[in-house]
Chains A and B, each alone.
Chain A
Amino acid sequence: GAVVSQHPSWVICKSGTSVKIECRSLDFQATTMFWYRQFPKQSLMLMATSNEGSKATYEQGVEKDKFLINHASLTLSTLTVTSAHPEDSSFYICSANRNRDGGTDTQYFGPGTRLTVL
């Protein structure tokens, strides 16, 4: 259990275009999902917290108009990188909260999406 999928696995796009990444919890419902980005040989950096039915909460320094997040259902959150530029090239990873042991929420991660902007 606790499987999280992402689509696409990798994407190459031209500068100025928008890219949508989907994150799905396959066997559980998640009211809260998270979006991270990770640069080579670095740790995960939280971008935003996605809450079902409400606006996402963005971390300091993350442009909400550039990284649009929609959490329309309990199993799907989407991240849209608008007007992508080469500096947006990165590994984007989502996670979903699932309650374990009756009391603690644990994050389970998707496989990541490699975005390359030319």
Chain B
Amino acid sequence: GESVGLHLPTLSVQEGDNSIINCAYSNSASDYFIWYKQESGKGPQFIIDIRSNMDKRQGQRVTVLLNKTVKHLSLQIAATQPGDSAVYFCAENGAGTALIFGKGTTLSVSS
């Protein structure tokens, strides 16, 4: 079946570095993508979203890039802070209202 996946299960960075978390999706009909952050024992928190008619969207310290040609999504976090340590999930909203989640990347930020 079609699914959303992430390239790396874990990513370790130093405080202040920029982080890039990647996601590959397979459903070419997907037209909406979301990045969520989940801290231990909590529900996912919306970070940023992007529609398929865009290739880049910026938020506060975060940027999402969408490459529809290779079906690739990335989340860039500038000046990563210890509070950014969490599991990051990409999700796609393809044919319906339900989301398909990737497996998640655990970001660890060391001081």
Tell me the A residues contacting B by CB distance below 8 Å. 2, 4, 6, 32, 34, 42-44, 46, 49, 91, 93, 95, 97, 100, 104-112, 114
Contacts and interface: CB of A to CB of B under 8 A. Distances in A.
B44 interface: yes
Q: Categorize the interface residue count of chain B.
A: 20 to 34
B43 A107 contact: no
B43 A49 contact: no
B45 A46 contact: no
Contacts, number: 53
A44 to B, nearest CB: 5
Interface string B65-97: 000000000000000000000000101010001
A interface, by DSSP: helix, strand, loop or mixed? strand
B101 A43 contact: yes
Contact of A108 (B42, B46, B103, B104): B46
